[in-house]
Amino acid sequence: MGLLIKNAVIVNADKMEKKPQDILCEDGKITQIAVGIDAGTHEVIDAAGKKVLPGLIDIHTHLRQPGREDKETIETGSRAAVKGGFTSIMCMPNTNPVIDNPMVVEFIIREAKRVGLCNVYPIGAITKGQKDEELTDMGELKAAGCLAFSDDGKSVLNSRLFRLSMEYAKMLDVLIIEHCQDPLLTSGGVMNEGAVSTRIGLKGDPAIAETVTVARDIEIALYLGAKVHLAHMSLKRSCELIRMAKAQGIKVTAEACPHHFALTDEACSSFDTSTKVNPPLRTQEDVEAVKAAIADGTIDCIVTDHAPHTKEDKEVGFDGAPFGLIGLETSLALTLTELVHKGIIDLSQMVDKMSRAPARIVGLEHKGMIRQGFDADIVIIDPDRTWTVTQEGFVSKSKNSPFIGWTLKGLVETTICGGKVVYKV
């Protein structure tokens, strides 16, 4: 018995179909797309009046397990993912122990399969222990299941090591994801350096801490003819550098997060530690530039940078609180509310940014499109349904979101992973 989605208005990255069709899913694959498929003994979902998208793919999450299961686990993070419409997520290596050896990779994959909600792909560390001293064995980690490598949480400051990592990644055909931030320039900054930080008396993190690293990484990619992916871009100048690099044919891709196009550094005036993120919230000019870069393709994909923290960790002074906010459950709705419904991008472009482009960037060949023969990873949404973000509504183990109380437009109604319904509203 398979799963049959009736009356599906399909939205792919290349176009939105005008007429409803049926989608038959069998053995984890999409086996037929046509009008009037016989229901037979199949489980049936009626998608009339909704939009049917390929499952969302997030290539930048933090699941905290192993080591900080009080903040999040693979199970709770997976539940948050499918509630948010994500069928595939990639988890960053800054766990304890760090994802720098095959045993940790195998544990994460095994635990994700036990949970059985969505696909979880570990991202291996670039350097052992994320100490910026010695490269990990990327070949061994790739064989264990890593599709990409990053020291996210901090940059690889050692430029020689970063060059070597890109050379090895090129040989192995895997992706390097770089957290662009020079810690010698941030020097303890807790929010964007500018007029707001001066007014409220918090130490600023200067924009150049991001842009000098963006520029370095682009130059190394050019020199090596290698590809690099730049994480959570937040600045107008970063977008300009990436746009120029792409125009020159340099193999650079980039991502942005909803909080960097939905909030400005003015939000930090509340001293709500959920607004303390890394890189920090920026100015309105930067927000508009990030939106424009998403619209024109300079920014390739939208990610969550889902970074859960306990109530105890966050309920301290702004200076002492850890960086990060949760995003898996609000990302789609924020993108619909702030970009689609405001006419900055359309639904097909959103699908490209949140599904097809991430699949292409990390090499998930049979994901990111609703097409015969592709994996049956599908999300059914009502793009016009409004809902209010509440603390009680989160299924993530942590609740550190600055969007609590916001009314958003766009709701996930059903998430299907591998042809199995894993979430229903």
User: Considering 152, 265, 305, 313, which one is annotated as catalytic?
Assistant: 305
The Cα–Cα gap between 81 and 60 comes to: 12
Phi, psi of 187 (to 5 degrees): 45, 50
CA-based diameter of the chain, in Å?
Answer: 67
Which two three-digit tokens encode residue 413?
């109604």
- Amino acid at residue number 58: D
Q: Which residue has the tokens 């993530």?
A: 396
**Residue 305 annotated in active site:** yes
The Cα–Cα gap between 162 and 129 comes to: 15
| Long-range contacts, 261-267 (Cβ 8 Å, 24+) | 261/287, 261/290, 261/291, 261/294, 261/338, 261/339, 262/287, 262/334, 262/337, 262/338, 262/403, 263/287, 263/402, 265/191, 265/192, 265/194, 265/196, 265/197, 266/196, 267/402
Which two three-digit tokens encode residue 106?
């195998």
The Cα–Cα gap between 149 and 168 comes to: 11
- Amino acid at residue number 422: V
Supply the DSSP string of 204-263, one letter for each residue: EE-THHHHHHHHHHHHHHHHHT--EEE-S---HHHHHHHHHHHHTT--EEEEE-THHHH-
Instruction: Look at the chain and count its residues.
Output: 425
- What does DSSP assign to residue 194? S
Show the beta-strand stretches assigned E in 107-226. 119-122, 148-150, 175-178, 191-192, 204-205
For residue 350, CA distances in Å to 66, 237, 372 come to 32, 23, 21
Show the beta-strand stretches assigned E in 78-134. 86-91, 119-122
The Cα–Cα gap between 122 and 314 comes to: 26
Residues with active-site annotation: 305
